[in-house]
Amino acid sequence: MSQYGAKGRAQQGQSYKDIAKAYYGSEPTTTDTGGTIKVAGQGDIDFETTYLYGIAEMPSDWPQEALKAQAVAARSYAIRYKREGKEICTSEACQVFSKSKSDGVPGPWKQAVDETKGQVIEGVTTYYSSTAGGYSSTSGWDTTDKSDSGEWTSRAYESLAGSPWFYKAWYRKGYQNSSDSCGRSHPWLSQDEFSDIINAWIVRKNPQGADVSRIIPTTIGQCPVGGSGGNPYSIDELRSLANQSGGAITSISSVQSQHNGQGTTTTITLQTNKGTISISGSEFKETFNLRAPGYISIPQTGFSFFNIEKSN
């Protein structure tokens, strides 16, 4: 489930059962969820009125039907641990549990949990995330007409809900707004930074003796990625190497993406100072994630689109 998609669907009048079916393929059914669940650092606590009250995965001021869909998804995810007697963690590796939220549960979230008590979706693992980019491999195009025709982004439920991640590559070390952003306030790349990524692609395609292991973020010294550092080429060094490999990119005037109709970008086409350049979607994503500064990345498996905003 896309959480912002659920918000957008709720704002468009869909019920939590509609939302659950859209993302998981079926409506919830009622089962016995009484008793306790083993929670890391908390021991055995009541499943419905302590554990679920403390799930901190969606703002409590969101539409009630979205909150109910979230309650069903969280309950369905955790019921496996409860049934098998396994301990569930309290971080994003499982789903976030907050003891303080449980102790002082907000009214709208309490209502969502109470009004869906015992309701779970069986037969699937109810994964969910903030934003999926307008397409899900399980539910298809997440748009009001279920299609990608025309300006489909304006019809995407995540876009309608105002997801701050809908058009953006991720730029924080973690999901939370408090996570380290390597000094950036946004994920947008400058002309030099984006040209540098294309130069990285050029050098990787035709190394001409270049050390491709040095094609890593220029910021890796102060902002290690994956706990590792390195000795990256500077932007000027990589531009010089790209000149040796067929010609460096110094400006990009437009970018277009083509996809296969199933949520995967097939080609990125750029208009540059060296003319038209076409890069396969997989190569673009791989190079982008290797070289983009800070913690900027494209996290989606296929990434259905890539938004470019050009500023002078």
pTM over 0.75: no
Query: Is residue 259 very low, low, confident or very high in pLDDT (cuts 50, 70, 90)?
Result: confident
Average pLDDT rounded to a whole number, residues 106-123: 97
Based on the fold, state whether residues 174 and 240 are members of the same structural domain.
yes
In-domain check, residue 133 = no
- Look at strands 119-120 and 135-136 and give their pairing: unpaired
Based on the fold, state whether residues 78 and 206 are members of the same structural domain.
no
In-domain check, residue 149 = no
pLDDT tens-place string over residues 73-93: 999 999 999 999 999 999 988
Q: Which of 94, 14, 10 is nearest to 54 (CA)?
A: 94
Based on the fold, state whether residues 59 and 192 are members of the same structural domain.
no
Average pLDDT rounded to a whole number, residues 269-296: 94
Cβ contacts of 109 within 8 Å, gap of 6 or more? 53, 55, 58, 60, 67, 71, 101
Based on the fold, state whether residues 176 and 93 are members of the same structural domain.
no
Based on the fold, state whether residues 103 and 172 are members of the same structural domain.
no
In-domain check, residue 161 = no
Q: Which of 137, 189, 192, 171 is nearest to 294 (CA)?
A: 171
Based on the fold, state whether residues 76 and 216 are members of the same structural domain.
no
Amino acid at 19: I
Based on the fold, state whether residues 311 and 236 are members of the same structural domain.
yes
In-domain check, residue 132 = no
Q: What is the DSSP letter of 198?
A: H
User: What is the domain count for the chain?
Assistant: 2
Question: Could you give the 3-state DSSP secondary structure of residue 144?
Answer: coil
In-domain check, residue 157 = no
Q: Which of 25, 17, 116, 16 is nearest to 66 (CA)?
A: 16
What is the structure's pLDDT at 307?
A: 47
In-domain check, residue 113 = yes
Using the structure block, give the residue that is written with the tokens 């304006």.
Answer: 154
In-domain check, residue 240 = yes
Q: What is the DSSP letter of 177?
A: T
pLDDT tens-place string over residues 17-74: 999 999 999 999 999 999 999 999 999 999 999 999 999 999 999 999 999 999 999 9
In-domain check, residue 139 = no
pLDDT tens-place string over residues 182-218: 998 878 889 999 999 999 999 999 999 999 999 999 9
pLDDT tens-place string over residues 125-167: 999 988 887 887 777 889 999 887 777 888 999 999 998 777 6
d(CA 55, CA 171): 25
Q: Residue 22 is part of which domain span?
A: 3-120
Which residues is 156 bridged to in the sheet? 143
Torsion, Cα 304 309 310 312, to 10 degrees, reads -170
Based on the fold, state whether residues 172 and 271 are members of the same structural domain.
yes
Average pLDDT, the chain: 89
d(CA 8, CA 303): 20
Strands (E), 172-312: 252-259, 265-272, 275-280
Q: How far is CA 179 from the centre of its chain?
A: 15
Based on the fold, state whether residues 78 and 207 are members of the same structural domain.
no
Based on the fold, state whether residues 200 and 274 are members of the same structural domain.
yes
